[in-house]
Structure 1
Amino acid sequence: MVVPPWLSVPPPGYGGLEQVVAGLLNALVDRGHAVTVFGAGPDHGTAAEYVSTCPDVQYDRLGESLPELAHLAHVNRLVDPADFDVIHDHTTIGPLVAGRRRVPTVATVHGNPVGEYGTVLSNTDHGVGLVAISHAQRRANPELPWVGTVHNALPLRDVPRKRAPGQGPVLWLARFSPDKGPDLAIRACRAAGLPLTLAGKCNEPAERRYFEQVVEPLLDEDITVVLNADRDETLRLLLDARCLIMSIQWEEPFGMVMVEAMATGTPVVALRRGAVPELVRPGLTGLVCDRPDDLPAALRESSRLDPADCVAHVAENFSVERMALGYESVYRSFLAARAAQAGQRQPAPVVAR
């Protein structure tokens, strides 16, 4: 398993990709697989074996290309067919350089596969298989070399759950970006007459500029701002919240925060964009709106939804055990297809050791 060099796995705060990968690593180890994770910085907190390509995580250089390229160059030099059946890559540039590896690679696409990122992915080495995290993401660029779709998931054992609907404010939880629509969340909550907590990641220059120029002028006493919350604070906010608002302005490829919210029993009020319809069951675990003008009524109505239905929905559809089974199936079918293309004998199945 190859993770980006920016954050530890699991992350101390914001980091949906790293949280998902941590759950997958532990689930695969629990199923008896021998798993090694390649990352940056000191030992990560998972059950997998860990190999570091750099003494420190490279968060301060997030957005630069060289840290990730250097990380991947180390990985490519270290992996050996005698040690690994398959490489599972979660980096942005990994699919471009995976052809230099001597071990077959599948790569999970964590972003929106269009624009510049779509150009990178369309030049993926022909021997690399891409895995989508939602059907909506896959539909956004169906010509890519997809080999499977596996929803992200959440380790549920340690997630606290509420027994009754939350009595606190509406919660917006994301990075401060126009894509995430915090300005729409403010307007919707004011129209509904409900208080709002904006809990956002705000430590990159673009995020700070957006917060200062767009969000700050809209603030008043009905809005509470929490910047760069850690995991414990995030869980406290979710448990207290009346609902989570997803006022997104882009085709969200997944939206892990929705699963996090529903796992605590907090329903989701969201605009119908990207993967939202795949994650939220309208009228049971949340309300899905076609227009921003529909959000205020949905925010008021969300208090009638049962937290137990939200929790049960996540347990059935977004457990790490289900995600691990999905990836096992991808690994098997991908390796079998590669062997068939090469006219080789079918490889031994990927099974728990």
Structure 2
Amino acid sequence: MRIAMVAPLAEAVPPKFYGGTERVVSWITEELVRQGHDVTLFASGDSETSAKLAACHPEGLRLLGYRDHTAGHLAMLHHVHRRAHEFDIIHFHIDLLQYPMFEDLYHKTLTTMHGRLDVPDFMPVYKTFTGMPLVSISDNQREPMPEDSNWLATIHHGLPKENCPYYPESKGGYLAFLGRISPEKRPDRAIEMAKRSGIPLKIAAKVDKADQDYWDDVIEPMIHHPLIEYIGEINEEQKKDFLGNALALAFPIDWPEPFGLVMIEAMSAGTPVIAFRNGSVPEVIKDGVGGFVVDTMDEAVEACIKAKDLSRAGVRQHFESQFTAEVMVNKYVAAYEQLLASRGNVVDLPTAGSFSPQYGEVNGSPRPSINVAALPA
């Protein structure tokens, strides 16, 4: 299949720092290419991919200090629409802007919803443009959406098997908290789990400006304890040892998490997850196999003790059977095929405008890297 992957422009694909959506887009793209599909990735120019790269901005907008990414995304979508006749499938990973612009092409487009869907501000779009084919990343994520939303499938995230190597035993014997310091992530619960169980806790997390007061007033006073170690933000390489050597990952969330990549990253390493029952948690963690799903602090403390006896090989097997990039992409390909099969006799006509060879097209075939940001309007 000829597939266009349309990524957010906030970060490179894959991201150099924070950027869960861009990381997932990279895993999907690379696995599609590995499986033999012809993929064009619309993303920032500092992205790295084995697909054809259509560079829509020189660098990720967040690193350049852009606060509002709307203009960049509108320009990118304009170019995607002009090239729509080149693709069998156009797969969006941005929020809402494509809904009205691609209403004439819903028969070949789909959008993966990466964030929470219970934001009232977005509902007018969801209720107006109900024809856009959608993919949710958990069944729980769908619940706030209008009943007539056009859901194709729920496809859980997956990552490459080698991304976080399997650690057959925990060498550190600590609880790990990884991600972001914020009220909904509940690092205070992780600290209480450690103090009550007597198991050390290592916190590898960043503090956004929006959460600085929460850090200053609530969390920072709690970390001055011999069992608690605050490490700060870590990179992808550091993450492997951090998760792999942990006794368990503490995932004490208090919000409807749409998915939670860190859960499958931990399970990839063989590290069980102790998670509070919110959002996608019951879909991702098979209780007693991939970790423990808990409802109370007492249950969480008990799970910290039981984690020592849980089979890390079993945790890894749960990951391999459900959450690899190959499993994820096989489901996406099935969704693409379902969408194509429903097209009937729809015929794509070339869109207005054509690319000049000086911008990357030779005899009608795009070169592997095309700077669409430089194209004339």
TM-score surpassing 0.5? yes
- Structure 1 runs not aligned, ≥5 long: 347-353
Of residues 230, 233, 252, the one that matches 1:228 is 233
Query: Which residue in the other structure is 2:78 paired with?
Result: 76
Query: Structure 1 residue runs of 4+, over 6 Å off?
Result: none
> 1:272-302, CA deviations, whole angstroms, 9 ceiling, x for partnerless residues?
1111111111112201111233211111111
Q: Which residue of 2 aligns with 1:125?
A: 129
Residue-by-residue CA offset, 1:213-257 (whole Å, 9 max, x unaligned): 221111113211122211011111101211001100011111110
Is this contact kept in 2: 1:76–1:101, CA < 8 A? no
Distance in 1, matches of 2:278 and 2:153, equals 21
Aligned equivalent of 1:49: 52
TM-score (ref. length: structure 1): 0.89
> TM-score if structure 2 supplies the norm length?
0.84
1:197 to 202, 209, 228: 202
CA distance in 2, matches of 1:201, 1:82: 43
Q: Which AA in structure 2 matches 1:330?
A: A
The answer to whether the Cα contact below 8 Å between 1:41 and 1:52 also exists between their aligned partners in 2 is yes
Paired residues of 2:84 and 2:90 also in contact (CA < 8 A): no
Listed one character per residue, the Cα deviations across residues 22-54 of structure 1 (whole Å, up to 9, x for unaligned) are: 111011111111111111242x22211111111
Deviation at 1:127, TM superposition (A): 4.0
Deviation at 1:97, TM superposition (A): 4.3
Distance 1:94 1:239, change over 3 A: same
Task: Check the 8 A contact 1:11/1:19 in 2, yes or no.
Answer: yes
Q: Is the 8 A contact 1:267 1:310 kept in 2?
A: yes
Distance (whole Å) between structure 1 residues aligned to residue 150 and residue 328 of structure 2? 20
1:135 to 127, 136, 139: 139
Residue type matched to 2:336 in 1? Answer: Y
Taking every aligned residue pair, what percent have the same amino acid on both sides?
33
Query: Does the 8 A contact of 1:96 with 1:120 survive in 2?
Result: no
Q: After TM superposition, give the deviation of residue 61 of structure 1 in Å.
A: 7.0
Q: Which amino acid aligns with 2:270?
A: G
- Sort the Cα spacing of 1:151 and 1:62 in 2 relative to 1 into closer, same or farther, 3 A: farther
Distance 1:86 1:316 in 2: 27
The match for 2:273 is 268
1:162 alignment partner, SS class? coil
Residue 325 (structure 2) pairs with residue 320 (structure 1): yes
The match for 2:19 among 15, 21, 24 is 15
Distance 1:345-1:18 versus aligned 2 partners, 3 A rule: closer
CA RMSD of aligned residues (A): 2.3
Residues 1:54 and 1:17: Cα distance change in structure 2 (over 3 Å): same
Letter in 2 for 1:155: P
- The answer (yes or no) to whether the contact 1:262–1:285 under 8 Å persists in 2 is yes
- Distance (whole Å) between structure 1 residues aligned to residue 299 and residue 56 of structure 2: 49
Q: Residue 8 of structure 1: CA displacement?
A: 1.3
Whether the 8 Å contact between 1:168 and 1:240 is mirrored in structure 2 is yes
Asked if residue 150 in structure 1 is aligned to residue 152 in structure 2, the reply is no
Residue in 2 that maps onto 1:89: 92
1:316 positional shift: 0.8
Measured after TM superposition, the shift of residue 158 of structure 1 is 4.1
Paired position in structure 2 for 1:351: none
Task: Give 1:283's aligned residue.
Answer: 288
Quick one: which amino acid aligns to residue 336 of structure 1?
A
Please tell me the residue identity of whatever aligns with 1:96: Y
Aligned to 2:256: 251
Look at both structures and tell me which one has the larger radius of gyration over its CA atoms. Answer: 2
Structure 2: segments with no counterpart, 5+ residues? 349-377
Query: What secondary structure, in the 3-state scheme, does the structure 2 residue paired with 1:188 have?
Result: helix
Q: Distance in 2 between matches of 1:117 and 1:133?
A: 21
**Does 179-188 or 154-163 show the bigger shift?**
154-163
Question: Alignment partner of 2:94: what SS?
Answer: coil
Give the paired residue count.
340
Flag the 1:247–1:63 CA change in 2: closer, same or farther, 3 A. farther
Alpha-carbon distance change, 171 to 121 in structure 1, aligned in 2, over 3 angstroms: farther
2:73 maps to amino acid: H
The structure-2 alpha-carbon separation of the partners of 1:78 and 1:108, relative to structure 1 and needing over 3 Å to count, comes to closer
